[in-house]
Amino acid sequence: MPVTNLLGVGPKIAAALEELKVTSVADLVSHYPSRHEDLSNVKKIADLRVGERVTVVGRVVGVKKVGRPVRGRTPGFSVQIYDGTGYIPATIWGRGWLLNQIVPDYSWVVVSGEAQRKYELQISAKNIELIDDPATIGDNAHAGRFVPVYPVNKGINARRMRTLIHRALDEAGRILDPLPAEILARHGLPNLHDAIHGIHFPTDKERLKAATRRLVFHELFLIQTGLAARKARLEKTESGRSHRGDGRLLNPFLKGLPFGLTGAQERVIGEVLEGMRPEKPMRRLLQGDVGSGKTVVAVAALLSAVESGGQGAIMAPTEVLAEQHFISISAALKDLPINVVLLTGSQGAAERRVALEAVKSGEAHVVVGTHALIQRAVEFEDLSLVVVDEQHRFGVGQRTTFKEKGVTPDTLVMTATPIPRTLSLTLYGDLEVSLLDELPPGRKPVETSMVEVAERAGAYEAVRAELEEGRQAYVICPLVEESEALEDVRAAEELHEELTEEVFPERTVGLLHGRMKATEKREVMRAFREREVEILVATVVVEVGVDVPNASAIVIEGAERFGLSQLHQLRGRVCRGLHPPKCFLVSDPKTEDSLKRLQALCEHQDGFKLSEVDLRIRGEGTLFGSRQSGMPDLKIAKLLRDIEILVEARRAAFELVAADPTLKEPQHRPLRREVRDLLGKDVEWLFRE
């Protein structure tokens, strides 16, 4: 039913509601309060005590204005109330318009506020409501109860919103519950009707709590059901490829590594290979903090694919990173009978043709490239594993789907942006998750400090000391808006010039920015890797994955403009060597939030911890951010707070879908409709039988 069917919703109110994304009565009843005001402590006047927050119901026996009128308006008024046990005056500021409606010796009011003693006992009222009949106080939306407070906007005030929702609940009648009764019983949840009434107009705290829990569960359960259905569907319809490597490539590769695997790497490699074994396509998310050694895991998986006679591809978000992967993977595999080819946009046409031909003929075993490149119509002879590096740079909805000759390759998605556990259960809820939760031994925490702009010389002195020890450093240019990309380049060039000519005239300073030609970028990176360049001035192009272990200091200019996870990534560039690394955040934090971010960075090294802090600072509103994530906004669940309910809802949803994958049983149909409404048209296919 459109919200305009409700009494009291004209075009203006309808427009204001629409701004709050409320267009139907159903939307209105799921416009949840942000908090409640407890006005439920109803007392008789004779029982009042000083200092108590109370609500009194009584008949008005006298009215007077208080304060000096301002521009013809009465600032406040006072009513004398009688309730059969005594008399008390109550004063309220504002609400002058009520004066005309109050008729002494006739009107009934409900007054809430604090009982105070000033000459005599009186109520300093926060709220005053006129009611028709004291017997009906239980029906009043605004008084004598837990009164809901709603998010509103300019076009609609809190009181109007409350009135409308109260009315909508009346109109809605009995609200049917799409969740199976058996799940409610098992999880001790109230039914939807009670929960919706309970969240708006709870009779007590306990009921409010139960209602909230139910609605959080509800919201998360619907999402998880969608994810479970998606997973079940894919598993049923797709045939993948069973990888049963014999170790002929993997073993020599592991043996040839200049280091032993960490326990976590060993475990995760095991999980990945195990996941690649069955015929159903693997879809796995590998989370590992910056520097935890994800590349080794990726190579192990690629080798296993090749051992089973297939091809593997690894996709990186930038050309710089793709080339770095190409160089390090080729080097690590140089003694093995394996062909690694590179595909980038900057290759010459001839070179590219040769590479594409090798991919198509199967001569190329492992293909390294940028996401864009590999996704775009590259023909493989037999692609059986795709590794997506640094997935967080891309919309989560933008998952790669390859279809090669009817066989779906396994996918391993790697991300260094630590996603708190809660998030990975939702956004990536249909993926298996492997966790690389251990850094290679000997990693030193990055000593991180905030440096005021005026004191940046001090940071450069510290960098000089590092260089004198034979180590290298990054200097990161401030972030500039996308639209000002050219300015970005100019700023980078200026900084480069300043460092070359004034600060470090005795050193070689390189420059890397997004507008450079690929060959130039390649040359600078090579020079930096081989220590010809000692200081690399760069824009954020080095953010992801660049790995030069000898670099031990990083200066980030304009640090307050970067996001927390971006800063953590940048800092990660210098945690790879054996020297205690340093990070300088040159900044002029203007907002409380940016200060908090920088402080968090100085305090914590652990990316998971940082991403939780980040979520807290940003709030969860922006969580699913881009619409392309394919996830609905959360109305009531808070992922950090509600992790336990999430885990419960997830288990329940996956169990239900395992028993009835397309939700075709009659008792599951309402649920199916609900999931479809929530997740939109593109989940339609999940439920086709």
Residue ranges that bind Mg ion, judged by CB under 5 A: 545
Binding window for ligand ADP (CB under 6 A); candidates: 165-173, 291-299, 605-613, 648-656: 291-299
* Beta carbons within 8 Å of 224's beta carbon, 6+ residues apart: 426, 429, 646, 649, 650, 652, 653, 654
| CB-based contact 92:128 (threshold 8 Å) | yes
Q: How far is the CB of 200 from ligand ADP (least distance, A)?
A: 48
Q: Does 446 bind ligand ADP (CB under 6 A)?
A: no
Nearer to ligand ADP, 172 or 261 (CB): 261
Q: How far is the CB of 368 from ligand ADP (least distance, A)?
A: 14
Binding window for ligand ADP (CB under 6 A); candidates: 135-143, 287-295, 466-474, 596-604: 287-295
Q: Does 291 bind ligand ADP (CB under 6 A)?
A: yes
Q: How far is the CB of 539 from ligand ADP (least distance, A)?
A: 20
Q: What DSSP state is assigned to residue 304?
A: H
DSSP 88-119: EEEEEES-GGGGGG--TTT-EEEEEEEEEEES
Q: Which does 259 bind (CB under 5 to 8 A by kind): ligand ADP, Mg ion, none?
A: ligand ADP
Q: Which does 563 bind (CB under 5 to 8 A by kind): Mg ion, ligand ADP, none?
A: none
Q: Does 327 bind ligand ADP (CB under 6 A)?
A: no
| Candidate residues 278, 549, 563, 670; the one interacting with ligand ADP per rule CB under 6 A | 549
Q: Which residues of 371-391 are buried (b: 16+ CB within 10 A; e: fewer)?
A: bebbbeebebbebbbbbbbbb
d(CA 302, CA 325): 13
Question: In the window 486-505, what residues touch ligand ADP (CB under 6 A)?
Answer: none
Which token pair is 559? 């640090």
Element (H, E) at 250: helix 250-256
Q: Does 529 bind ligand ADP (CB under 6 A)?
A: no
Q: Does 576 bind ligand ADP (CB under 6 A)?
A: yes
Element (H, E) at 170: helix 158-172
Q: How far is the CB of 683 from ligand ADP (least distance, A)?
A: 33
| CB-based contact 56:123 (threshold 8 Å) | yes
Alpha-carbon torsion (76, 80, 83, 88), positive or negative: positive
Nearer to ligand ADP, 296 or 537 (CB): 296
Nearer to Mg ion, 392 or 672 (CB): 392
d(CA 313, CA 380): 10
| Candidate residues 288, 409, 478, 581; the one interacting with ligand ADP per rule CB under 6 A | 288
Q: For tokens 């939807």, what's the residue?
A: 192
Q: Does 545 bind ligand ADP (CB under 6 A)?
A: yes
Q: Does 581 bind ligand ADP (CB under 6 A)?
A: no
Q: Which does 190 bind (CB under 5 to 8 A by kind): Mg ion, ligand ADP, none?
A: none
| CB-based contact 450:597 (threshold 8 Å) | no
Stretch 609-648: interaction string toward ligand ADP, x if CB under 6 A: ----------------------------------------
Q: Does 391 bind ligand ADP (CB under 6 A)?
A: no
Q: How far is the CB of 419 from Mg ion (least distance, A)?
A: 15
| Candidate residues 224, 262, 552, 565; the one interacting with ligand ADP per rule CB under 6 A | 262
What does each C-alpha distance from 26 to 133, 153, 177, 563 come to in angstroms? 30, 19, 13, 37
Q: Which does 262 bind (CB under 5 to 8 A by kind): ligand ADP, Mg ion, none?
A: ligand ADP
As a three-state string, the secondary structure of 307-351 is: HCCCEEEEEECCHHHHHHHHHHHHHHCCCCCCCEEEECCCCCHHH
Q: How far is the CB of 570 from ligand ADP (least distance, A)?
A: 12
Q: Does 577 bind ligand ADP (CB under 6 A)?
A: no
Q: How far is the CB of 420 from Mg ion (least distance, A)?
A: 20
Nearer to Mg ion, 545 or 607 (CB): 545
| CB-based contact 197:210 (threshold 8 Å) | no
Q: Which does 378 bind (CB under 5 to 8 A by kind): Mg ion, ligand ADP, none?
A: none
Kindly determine how many residues on this chain lie close enough to bind ligand ADP according to the rule CB under 6 A: 18
Q: Which of 239, 612, 235 is nearest to 430 (CA)?
A: 235
Question: In the window 411-440, what residues touch ligand ADP (CB under 6 A)?
Answer: 416, 440
Residue 315 CA, chain-centre distance (Å), reads 23
Nearer to ligand ADP, 545 or 581 (CB): 545
d(CA 88, CA 84): 11
Q: Does 259 bind ligand ADP (CB under 6 A)?
A: yes
Give the CA radius of gyration of the chain.
32
Which token pair is 219? 């919201």
**Edge-first strand listing for the sheet containing 340-343:** 340-343, 366-370, 311-316, 383-388, 410-415, 283-288, 432-436
* Binding-site ranges for ligand ADP (CB under 6 A): 259, 261-262, 265, 288, 290-296, 416, 440, 545, 547, 549, 576
